Amino acid sequence: MDLISVEFFIFFLIILTVYYLLPGKLQWMWLLLAGMYFYYKNAAPIQCLVFAVFLILNYIASLNITEEKKHKKAAFRAIIIFDALMLMGMKYSEFFYDIYKWLTGLFGHVPNADIAGTVLFYAAELCPPRISYFSLIVMGYMTEVYWGKAEVQKNAGKFVLFASYFPQMTSGPIVQYEQMDGKLWGEKHHLSYTRMISGLERVIWGIFKKLVVSERLSVMVNEIYSNYEIYPGFYILFAAACFAFQLYADFSGLMDIVLGFSELLGIDLPENFNTPFYSESLAEFWRRWHITLGGWLKSYIFFAVQNTEAFRHLRKFCKKKLGKGYEKKYNIPQFLGLLISWFLIGLWHGGGWNYIFGVGVYMGIIIIISELCQPLFKRLITLLHIDTETLSYKLFKRVRTFFIFIFGLSFFRADTLTLGFKMWKNAFSIFNPWIFFDHSLYALGLNEHEFNILLFSLLIMLIVSMIEHDHALKTGIAEPEKMTGTREFLSRQGFIFRLLLFMVMFIMIITWGYYGSEYNASDFIYGRF
């Protein structure tokens, strides 16, 4: 059941209608049934069985890792290892098999291709859809219970609902238990005109970003990436920039749809984006991009690694060798923890070295280098008498951050790490900036009319982002879940104005959207995880 489909809209309308007719004590049960049906429609029977086994084992384990349990440490370790092995064994089996082949090849051993093929086939067949999301959600919950930061959910149905709430089973966000406890169950959710309008506006906005913007950008990106040999120089840079905007429109559009549908049910999910292209450093960029994944890694990997015995010994060693103030210059334990976290971020995005490098280790190394160079940057600013509060300097930092980001992100789109480097080598083979002025870009799959539609749509997205960013600056709001500048602006307008705007947006989607017999509505980029 695709998220953008008539089938899903009918399904959701039925769920929504019955949901608000039910008493409060039954609403969560209805959501549970909806989630079970939704997952059944999107997975094979054997995959549903694997998902059920995963939930049952984690529920049983959660009851045995509370403070009063004698063997809670062993139970916690066992279930986390099981969850991690299930994720890696099913989702990244091909990647780890390639590593195994490389290692055994060093000693002259050739693995049996038939056995490997069988294992990879069954791993793919058994792998439940969206395992990259629900496994992290459940592992985070188990960790919170083990640490004593969350009370164990003894009601099996509520535990399953938390792990499989159907809007977030599309592609996140990766929620933490404290963010959902009391929202999915508790008091009755009443039908609200304000929430209905706000949720619908967000759903429409997300569909616009996906069908009108992302799908158009994908045409040019696919053309250049598939034929990079005949598109040298600035074509490569153009493709990398377009892919960054394509991915943002695709993923943030998906999140708008998911959060909008959930808002219609009276349940607020955490935000995943916070105007990332206004970031002035790469570290800030990733605090604004895929926020829930970064928060999960920070809470359950980075801090957990820093508290291990090995890292405590490492800090003592650094203090002994580098002095008490070593953290200000060479905070080796922190940098090592960052590299581990970024390696896992890259691996999570896909089983391939292009992911591990492009959106993983590369990003971590740049952030570490930036941290190490801060004293040098400050001296240069003082020496050159640069006013860091001017718009021009902030614009320089944002542009710099954007180009640093798209270099790494380009490997995300490339099929392999080698191909990514070949493309950038081709980018420096010729100096051809004239392609931006001689209509060469119209030969990439979009004619002039289609290209102008794309530019106009990107302008609309820019205006909305400016409203959001300006609202944050004026109100001093930093939390992304409170970034509601655009909808707050619309709420102050008259009913006729909002209705006309809604109709205009709907008409643009109908007339400009990319859909039809060849369009796969479920093909969101992050939906593949």
What's the 3-state SS for 181-199? CCCCCCCCCCCCHHHHHHH
Dump pLDDT digits (tens) for 344-379: 999 988 878 999 999 999 999 999 999 888 888 989
* Position 36 in a domain: yes
Average pLDDT of the residues in 23-42: 92
- Predicted pLDDT of residue 517: 46
Q: What is the DSSP letter of 67?
A: T
Q: Are residues 30 and 150 in the same domain?
A: yes
Whether pLDDT at 491 is above 80: no
Average pLDDT over residues 227-244: 94
Q: What is the reported pLDDT for 483?
A: 46
Last residue of one domain, picked from the residues 413, 438, 468: 413
Report d(CA 513, CA 207) in Å as an integer.
9
Q: Is 381 inside a domain boundary? A: yes
What's the whole-number mean pLDDT along residues 210-236? 93
Q: What is the tens place of the pLDDT at every residue in 80-95?
A: 999 998 888 888 877 8
Q: Domain for residue 100, yes or no?
A: no
Contact in structure between 3 and 522 (CB atoms under 8 Å):
yes
Q: Are residues 423 and 395 in the same domain?
A: no
What's the rounded Cα separation, in Å, for the pair 220 and 243? 9
**Are residues 226 and 169 part of one domain?**
no
pLDDT at residue 242 is higher than 90: yes
Mean pLDDT of 338-348: 91
Share of the chain above pLDDT 90, in %: 50
Residue 312 and residue 180 in one domain: no
At 310, the pLDDT band (50, 70, 90 cuts) reads: confident
Does the pLDDT at position 386 exceed 80?
A: yes
Site of tokens 């320089």: 396
pLDDT at 528: 62
Are both 446 and 512 inside the same structural domain?
A: yes
Measured in whole angstroms, the distance separating CA 472 from the mean position of its chain's CA atoms is: 22
> Beta-carbon neighbour count of residue 104 at 10 Å?
12
**Same domain assignment for residues 384 and 451:** no
Q: Is the pLDDT of residue 477 over 60?
A: no
Nearest to 286 by CA among 378, 374, 405, 373: 405
DSSP, residue by residue, 330-353: --HHHHHHHHHHHHHHHHHH-SSH
Residue 482, pLDDT > 70, answer no
Going by pLDDT thresholds of 50, 70 and 90, the confidence category of residue 476 is low
Range 516-529 average pLDDT = 58
Assess whether 383 and 503 both reside in one domain: no
Establish if 43 belongs to a structural domain.
Answer: yes
- Where is average pLDDT lowest: 313-317, 397-401, 414-418? 313-317
Domain assignment present for residue 329? The answer is yes
CA–CA dist 150, 175 (Å, integer): 14
pLDDT at residue 481, as a whole number:
45
pLDDT, mean over the chain: 86
At residue 279, the pLDDT reads: 92
Q: If we measure between CA atoms, which residue out of 442, 423, 431, 444 comes closest to residue 228?
A: 423
Q: Which of 175, 154, 155, 171 is nearest to 163 (CA)?
A: 175
Same domain, 301 and 220: no
Same domain assignment for residues 166 and 196: no
| Dihedral (CA of 17, 501, 253, 8) sign | positive
Query: Where among 413, 438, 466 does a domain terminate?
Result: 413
Q: Which of 42-46, 331-335, 455-459: highest mean pLDDT? A: 455-459
Whole-number pLDDT of residue 527: 62
Q: Are residues 143 and 262 in the same domain?
A: no
In a domain, 124, yes or no: no
Domain span holding position 258: 192-233+243-273+418-529
d(CA 6, CA 450): 26
27-36, 74-83, 213-222, 511-520: least confident range: 511-520
| Whether 379 and 519 share a structural domain | no
Which amino acid makes up residue 176? Q
Of residues 204 and 66, the one with the higher pLDDT is 204
Determine the pLDDT at residue 29.
Answer: 94
Q: How many domains does the chain have?
A: 3
Answer yes or no: is pLDDT of 421 > 90: yes
Could you tell me if residue 105 is inside a domain?
Answer: no
* Domain C-terminal end among 188, 207, 223: 188
With respect to residue 103, please indicate whether it lies within any of the assigned structural domains.
no
Please determine, for residue 521, whether its predicted confidence score (pLDDT) is greater than 70: no
Q: How many CB atoms lie within 10 A of CB 377?
A: 11
- Based on the fold, state whether residues 304 and 400 are members of the same structural domain: yes
